[in-house]
Amino acid sequence: MKKTVQRDLFPGALEMMILQILRRQPSHGYALVHHIKRTSHDLLQIEEGSLYPALQRLLKAELVKAEWSISSTNRRVRIYKLTRAGAKHLEREVSSFERMLEGVTRVLAPGES
């Protein structure tokens, strides 16, 4: 299923994106996948299934919590919400990710070394 051009995400990236989406709005698994695909304009090809182990990890770390409810399309779904710890964690992760990204970008920038 892997395409040759596709890159694996680095560890933690998926979790970070999930937390970010949940910060704006609690959603269920399918909606999360949908959201990631749409907002990334299909640049990120993630296997839909890989979302679930990530969600379980976040649940276990108590960064999100889950509740069953009825979706707008009238199905029984499990809605994930960000916890306070999750919000804090996200903040830390994003800032460290930005630092890392900046560093990588600088090194990769042409003409400057």
Q: Which residue ranges make up the site for another protein (CB under 8 A)?
A: 1, 28-30, 33, 47-50, 52-53, 55-57, 59-60, 62, 68, 73, 75-78
Q: Report whether 82 contacts 26 (CB < 8 A).
A: yes
Please say whether the dihedral angle defined by the alpha carbons of residues 56, 11, 81 and 21, taken in this order, is positive or negative.
negative
Burial of 110 (0-12, 13-18, 19+ CB in 10 A): exposed
Least distance to another protein from the beta carbon of 49, Å?
4
Q: Which is nearer to another protein, 12 or 103 (CB)?
A: 12
CA–CA distances in Å: residue 27 to residues 18, 23, 86, 101: 10, 10, 15, 28
Is 62 or 98 the residue whose CB approaches another protein more closely? 62
**Shortest Cβ 45–another protein spacing (Å):** 10
Task: Report in angstroms how near the CB of residue 2 gets to another protein at its nearest.
Answer: 11
Please give the single-letter amino acid code of residue 51.
L
Smaller CB distance to another protein: residue 29 or 86?
29
Shortest reach from residue 64's CB to another protein, in Å: 13
